[in-house]
Chains A and B, each alone.
Chain A
């Protein structure tokens, strides 16, 4: 005599029907986490400093906290918005339905890799290099940074000079994109409704 596995039948039959409702619930948790990630990025001292443009102070402490700021140090043009490409990538984070197993619906989170973000953040003076990666591994040029207004300066504030005009100090690396992506990979993979 054939037997009916009731639980299995329920799972099979109900899953397609509840999927839209579950998706709505998941969408809510996902959006909350995504907003949290974007907020964390926007509140990072490096982001704040670069977003502040030529007038910002070195809140990130990467330049020893003294005069000068990252925006001018890296050599951006005053009209540049270096944060925007990263923000656009983060805003594209999405999820798709992957599959359904017993009592479980799996979604795939489309999170960018740090490498993708590095590719979208070229140094103004060497486009194969990434300023966002440089924040983590070091950026050269500090010895030539002058906090001086000059029409020749790309940013209108910093200028590179062939002669050192200020005692050289070391650029201090800080955790930035790689750390953010790594942490949120874990956060998203543990996401539940």
Chain B
């Protein structure tokens, strides 16, 4: 199936959301640490995976702050040209050459996001009450590599549950409105308030419509062509009928109900009303 309106909306929205949080909140920390060999049966046999203790890594080079994020392009002298894949999504490297042995000590530096961002189809109740998230092990006493593909908190889950079209102008132009819900699972109230505050201020902003094919990540979580700059990418597509954030409401999960949530995660909700004018029948 070809990518449809909702595919492009959620791709564009997620890239914008990630950038906004990292840039406005400087919601990342630079880390230096070891990589641990981990067997991953989903990878081809000749690929070896070495996981850091943290996921997800920052891959957007347009982020700058008091300390700019470290976006790795080489590790102990080996880079993409030597067959290293940087899996930013899962906080690891995948080696396709013969640079490292499974017993080697590998170390490197990278920037870890304060919040992992995920697109999800799971309902809020499933995310909040059923799933038990591992915490990014930045405070763990014994450092180990994180399991690939596990969803880890602190995290923000984005979900689009609602879409409606209504007539806008003669000639078939319609206003399409989507409700995009973000469920924030934070480690503490400070972190939760920070995320809610950033996005409460995003009302009436516009989001570039980035084509599905321009998503910066490869199937292995690395950056296409080795460089991703959200600002440049967004500016390239800014004129192509952008999305408009009509309204944002933020809310915290009731303290009274906190007792039924597994773990000590602080929960918040951000509800975005995003619209675009389009010709859905053409």
Contact = CB atoms under 8 A, between A and B. Distances in A.
In this complex, the interface size class of chain B, counting residues with CB under 8 Å from chain A, is 20 to 34
Contacts of A126: 251-254, 269
Interface in A125-180: 125-130, 137-138, 140-144, 160-162, 164, 168, 173
Given A140-B124, A144-B129, A160-B260, A129 B269 contact: yes
B183 to A, nearest CB: 9
Contacts of A168: 123
In this complex, the interface size class of chain A, counting residues with CB under 8 Å from chain B, is 20 to 34
A124 interface: yes
A162 B162 contact: no
A115 B248 CA distance: 12
A193 B262 CA distance: 61
A162 B130 CA distance: 6
Taking each of A125, A130, A141, which has the highest tally of chain B beta carbons within 10 Å of its own beta carbon?
A125
B123 A143 contact: yes
Contacts of B260: 160-162
A128 B271 CA distance: 10
Main SS of chain B's interface residues? Answer: mixed
Nearest to B178: A137
B200 to A, nearest CB: 9
Interface in A98-117: 115
Contacts of B123: 140, 143, 168
Contacts of A127: 251-252, 254
Contacts of A141: 124-125
A23 to B, nearest CB: 36
A126 B249 CA distance: 11
B250 interface: yes
Contacts of B130: 162, 164
A125 B125 contact: no
Nearest to B128: A140
B179 A137 contact: yes
Contacts of B247: 115
Taking each of A124, A137, A144, A161, which has the highest tally of chain B beta carbons within 10 Å of its own beta carbon?
A137
B129 A128 contact: no
B281 interface: no
Nearest to A142: B125
A76 B262 CA distance: 23
Nearest to B200: A128
Given A141-B125, A143-B125, A125 B179 contact: no
16 contacts: A124-B254, A125-B253, A126-B251, A126-B253, A126-B254, A127-B252, A129-B249, A129-B269, A130-B249, A138-B161, A141-B125, A143-B125, A160-B129, A162-B129, A162-B260, A173-B162
The 4 closest A-B pairs by CB, nearest first: A128-B251, A140-B124, A126-B251, A125-B254
Interface of A: 115, 123-130, 137-138, 140-144, 160-162, 164, 168, 173
Interface of B: 123-126, 129-130, 161-162, 179, 247, 249-254, 256-257, 260, 262, 269, 271
